[in-house]
Amino acid sequence: MARLERVLRGRSSANSNPSLETLVRLAQALGVEVAALLSEPSKPRQREDRISMILRTANPATKRRVLRVVEALVREDHAEERPLARKRR
């Protein structure tokens, strides 16, 4: 940003900060609000997994049934892992 200010104003100082006028002009050129130039970059949106996409349109009863199935599968996985962990010791 400071370099852009130096180029636009013909300044050689590396310590100059852009003026409000420069920020407004830059925002207009980019088609964004000045606040967008000054704000922290947003975190990239995480990709929604397939099950979330499917459940978004499911009714509440279906969502509860799916949750019970998932819980049962996870419990089963943990039960299968426990004997293996004991054998390794």
Residues of the chain with pLDDT under 70: 1-16, 44-45, 83-89
Which residues, 6+ apart, have CB-to-CB distance to 9 below 8 Å?
16, 19, 22
17, 33, 63 from 28: Cα distances, Å = 18, 7, 46
Identify the pLDDT of residue 19.
Answer: 81
| pLDDT, position 61 | 94
Burial class (CB in 10 A: 0-12, 13-18, 19+), 24: middle
Q: Which two tokens stand for residue 55?
A: 């459940």
**Residue 18's CB: how many other CB atoms inside 10 A?**
19
pTM for the whole thing? 0.39
